[in-house]
Amino acid sequence: MTVTDTGASNLSAAVEGRPVPTGREEAWRFTPLPRLRGLHQSVEGAAQAEVVADLAPELRLELVDTASLPAASGPVETPAALALAATERSVVVTVPREAEASATSVLRITGTGTDRPAVSHIVVRAEAFSKAVVVLEHTGSATLSANVDVELGDGASLTLLSLQAWDDDAVHLGRQHAVVGRDASFRSFIASFGGDTVRLVPTVEYSAPGGSAELFGIYFADAGQHLEHRSLVDHAVPHCRSDVLFKGALRGDAEAGERGIARSVWVGDVIIRAAAVGTDTYELNRNLVLTDAARADSVPNLEIETGEIVGAGHASATGRFDDEQLFYLQARGIPADIATQLVVRGFFADVVARLGEPEWEQRLLDAIDGELGFAPEAADADQEDPQ
């Protein structure tokens, strides 16, 4: 099914009272605003992004007026508010109560050019005691500002994979907010490989006790790329848990000067409010620097307003490629390029395995191989016979 729409809308309501980011704000200090093609200032005249849906038979899809939906919850930055105001139709996917999807559902967002900004709004509703896996696959060239809202009813289980496989010229600003119900389980997995500048903000709140949220992510920044991920988990109700794990690799090109720098940013915020007794949370970010001309910023933040919790912690580390590992593998007859591939694959393997979807796990591993210059089939053959 193809869902498209065109048109413009009145942005005054979204603009009123909202400051335009300048880069001096804490939330925007890492972001290269000149590379956003104005998405942080205005999306006047934006196109409606094309969404192609391939859903499991148990799921429902509707195209509804964005203005008829409840106001967006959670943090909404100025660019996200502008995009919501400019979106005339929202794609709403519903997993009915007690339904278990028989297949993975895929929503494909395909860019058709960078000259005109595009906007989109996708809502995924997992009703009580339902279970599903939904993939958002981004490809092509685009200047996109996107909103994703996720709602989990009591006892629901939802895995949401957002794959950024953009062409090299794409710009993508994305807000993803999830509301997790009583005893519900939400797993978010973000995989960012393509694009010139990608800035994604996944956030979670809980509407009742017993909820669980896992925010996983992988990214591979090449020369000239800026990949930024800023997560927020807001614990405001008792006895909920969260687990945040992001890993990234960076490979720049020192000979290309400033445009050869590979750049990644991860900021992880967790708030445990006074009422959130019994909270259990942990967040971790790891970065692997493969070359010179690479910069990884990693900022974990943990704010605790009550001492009556199960546990809370965070960790962050950025390190260079381990030459000793490479030497060890080469000493056993494995060529340098294959040895590098094995080390990088091993670095990402534990995160990829947490997706729990073998077909898409392989897609992600293939994407990592592609970043290293291997065709998937060639990489598999080389690993079977390194000689």
Residue 112 to residue 99: CA distance in whole angstroms: 35
Neighbours of 154 (CB within 10 A): 17
Other C-beta atoms lying within 10 Å of the C-beta of residue 196: 22
pLDDT at 10: 41
| CA distance linking residue 261 with residue 65, whole number of Å | 42
Task: For 7-41, give the DSSP string.
Answer: -----HHHHTT-PPP-S-SGGGTTS-GGGGTTTTT
More confident residue, 204 or 2: 204
Q: What is the pLDDT of residues 103-147, one digit of tens each?
A: 999 999 999 999 999 999 999 999 999 999 999 999 999 999 999
- By percentage, how much of the chain surpasses pLDDT 70? 93
pLDDT tens per residue across span 266-298: 999 999 999 999 999 999 999 999 999 999 999
Among 274, 95, 107, CA closest to 176: 107
Q: How is 232-296 classified by DSSP, letter by letter?
A: EEEE-SSS-EEEEEEEEEEE--GGGGGGG-EEEEEEEEEEE-TT-TT-EEEEEEEEEE-SSSEEE
Q: Where are the alpha helices (DSSP H) in the chain?
A: 12-15, 78-86, 323-330, 336-352, 358-371, 376-384
Strand partners, 287: 248, 318
Retrieve residue 338's tokens: 């294959």
Domain range annotation of the chain: 2-322, 323-387
